[in-house]
Every structure is written in C-alpha cells, then in structure tokens.
Structure 1
C-alpha cells in the first residue's frame, strides 16, 4: 500500500571548494533547517568543482545559482524562494512583511 503522506523535499547545496565556500554553505543549511524543521527531509552539502559553483536545489528545482542570480542570497531571500517551491501557502511571519517605511 502506498504511503499516504507525501515525502518531504531534500535540499542540496553545492559549493566551490577552491573558493572556500563551505562555511557559507553550512550557514545557509543551518538557516533552512532552522526555518523549515518539519518541512525538509534534510540538507546535504556537496563539494563542487572549481569554477565558482554555488547552487541550491530543492530536489530538481534550482532555488539559487550564484552566476545566474548574481552572487549569494541573503537568508530572507533564500527562505522565501524555498518556501515558494515547497510550501507556497506557508506564511514566513516577519520575513513576509514589508519592513520598508
């Protein structure tokens, strides 16, 4: 009999080892696990090839790609993008509020 509960998505963060981006990748993994403790199956850090790779995927969906998206996301943007893919109906509280003026 099939499992009636949908499986939780898994996030993969691939980072350039030559650029020493392991700490950045680890911090982003921590932020995602803290914000989505019941929504994710896990976060895996993957040492990538040289050449500045930094990519965050939820299953096969690219959430962030450094070259495509221009640098690195801040925690707020990363969490919003992940939420939009895995749980679009979820309210992220203060992260969804416009704090400008």
Structure 2
C-alpha cells in the first residue's frame, strides 16, 4: 500500500490547504492508502510526497487539489 505525506508551512497558515488535500485523498483513494500524514514545516513549504517521491511542490506548481489527487492516483499501487 501507499503512504502519502503532506508537509505544510505552519507560520503561513497552510493547515487548511493540507487538510483539504488530505480529505480529498482519503475520500477518493482511502481504501488504497496506508496513511495520509500531515507534517509541519516552515519557510513557505507545501509539498506532497508519495512513498518518499515528491509529486507536488508549491514552489514548482500552482495549488490545485484535483491535480494533486490525480498525481497521487497515478502512483498508487
């Protein structure tokens, strides 16, 4: 099964975004995922990793929950 980690910037107030992504992933892929964990960070980070491989980084892409879910879905075993 697959482990997803969402690292988000606490000082930036990105918790709501992280929770939105977590909810979307658990709703659409929950039975196929081991875990969707939230990890606190700083310095503007918002990043999503699937089994240690980055699939989304706010520094590179525009935030879009549906696009993140699609990227994760492609990597779910």
Which TM-score applies when normalising by structure 2? 0.91
**Structure 1 segments of 4 or more deviating over 4 A?**
none
Provide the residue aligned with 2:66 in structure 1: 76
Q: Secondary structure at the match of 2:60?
A: helix
Q: Secondary structure at the match of 1:36?
A: helix
How far, CA to CA, are the matches of 1:86 and 1:37 in structure 2? Answer: 11
Q: How many residues align?
A: 77
Structure 2: gaps spanning 5 or more residues: none
How far, CA to CA, are the matches of 2:20 and 2:70 in structure 1? Answer: 16
Which TM-score applies when normalising by structure 1? 0.71
Provide the residue aligned with 2:53 in structure 1: 61
Q: What's the offset of the Cα at 1:51?
A: 1.3
Structure 1: gaps spanning 5 or more residues: 1-7, 88-101
Q: Per chain length, whose mean CA-contact separation is higher, i.e. which structure has more relative contact order (CA < 8 Å, sep 6+)?
A: 2
Q: What's the offset of the Cα at 1:85?
A: 1.2
**What are the superposed Cα offsets for residues 1-35 of structure 1, whole Å, 9 maximum, x if unpaired?**
xxxxxxx1110000001101011101110000000
Instruction: Return the index of the structure with the highest Cα Rg.
Output: 1
Q: Tell me the C-alpha RMSD between the 2 structures.
A: 1.1
**Aligned pair partner of 1:16 in 4, 9, 29:** 9
Q: Secondary structure at the match of 2:32?
A: coil
1:40 aligns with 2:40: no
